[in-house]
A and B are shown apart, each in its own frame.
Chain A
Amino acid sequence: MDTDTQRLLHTFSALADLGQEIADTGDFEEMLRNSFHLLLGSLAIRRGGVTEYDREGHQLRLVAARGLGVGTSETFNIAAHHARDLASLGSAITLADATKEAERFLEDHKSELASIEIDLLLPLVVRERLIGIVLLGEKASGEKFTEEDFETLKVLSRHIGVGIHSHRLLEEVEHKAIENQKLYDGLRKIYKETVHAFAAAIDIKDRYTQGHSVRVGKYSEIIAREMGWSDDEVEGITIAGYLHDIGKLIVDLSVINSPERFSAKESKEMSRHPSAGYEILARINHPYAEIPLMARYHHERIDGNGYPDGLKGDQIPPGAKIVTLADSFDAMTTDRPYRNKLPLEDVLEDFRANTGTQFDPVVVCAFCRAFLKEIEGSKERRLLNLLNRNYDNVESVSPLLNQLLVDFDGGSLAATAH
Chain B
Amino acid sequence: MTDAGREIAVQSRSVGDVAIIYASDYLNKLSGERIERECRRQLESGCRTLIINFRDTELVNSIGVSILVGVIDAAEQSTARLIFSDVNNHTANLFEMLGLTRHVSLATNEDEALSLAAQI
Contact = CB atoms under 8 A, between A and B. Distances in A.
Interface of A: 1, 3, 6-7, 10, 13-14, 17, 34, 37-47, 66-67, 139-143
Contacts of B67: 37, 41
B93 interface: yes
Contacts of A43: 98
B97 A6 contact: yes
A7 B66 CA distance: 15
B117 interface: no
Contacts of A141: 98-99, 102
A298 B29 CA distance: 68
B29 A140 contact: no
Those 9 A-B pairs whose CB atoms lie nearest each other, nearest first: A141-B99, A41-B62, A41-B66, A44-B98, A41-B65, A14-B62, A40-B66, A140-B99, A37-B63
Contact of B29 (A1, A37, A46): A37
A44 B91 CA distance: 13
Given A10-B94, A10-B98, A45-B66, 9 more contacts: A1-B90, A14-B62, A34-B63, A41-B65, A42-B62, A43-B98, A67-B69, A139-B98, A140-B69
Contact of A140 (B63, B64, B90, B98): B98
A17 B99 contact: no
Given A7-B97, A10-B94, A40-B69, A140 B62 contact: no
A379 B109 CA distance: 77
Residue from the set B63, B64, B72, B94 with the largest chain A CB neighbour count within 10 Å: B63
Interface of B is mostly: helix
Contacts of A34: 29, 63
Nearest to A10: B94
B44 to A, nearest CB: 15
B100 interface: yes
Contacts of A17: 61-63
10 contacts: A6-B93, A10-B98, A14-B61, A17-B63, A37-B62, A41-B65, A41-B69, A45-B66, A140-B72, A140-B103
Nearest to B72: A140
B102 A140 contact: yes
B97 A3 contact: yes
B70 interface: yes
A140 B100 contact: yes
Interface string B1-40: 0000000000000000000000000000100000000000
A3 B94 CA distance: 8
B112 interface: no
Contact of B69 (A3, A6, A14, A46): A46
A44 B61 contact: no
B69 A143 contact: no
Given A37-B29, A44-B98, A139-B99, A3 B66 contact: no
A40 B93 CA distance: 18
A10 B94 CA distance: 8
B56 interface: no
Residue from the set B61, B66, B73, B93 with the largest chain A CB neighbour count within 10 Å: B66
B100 to A, nearest CB: 5
B73 A46 contact: yes
Contacts of A38: 61-63, 66
A40 B100 CA distance: 13
A1 B93 contact: yes
Contacts of B102: 140-142
B60 to A, nearest CB: 9
A6 B89 CA distance: 12
A16 B73 CA distance: 27
Interface string B76-116: 00000000000000100110011110110000000000000
A67 B97 contact: no
A40 B29 CA distance: 13
A160 to B, nearest CB: 13
A14 to B, nearest CB: 4
B96 to A, nearest CB: 8
Contacts of B61: 13-14, 17, 38, 41
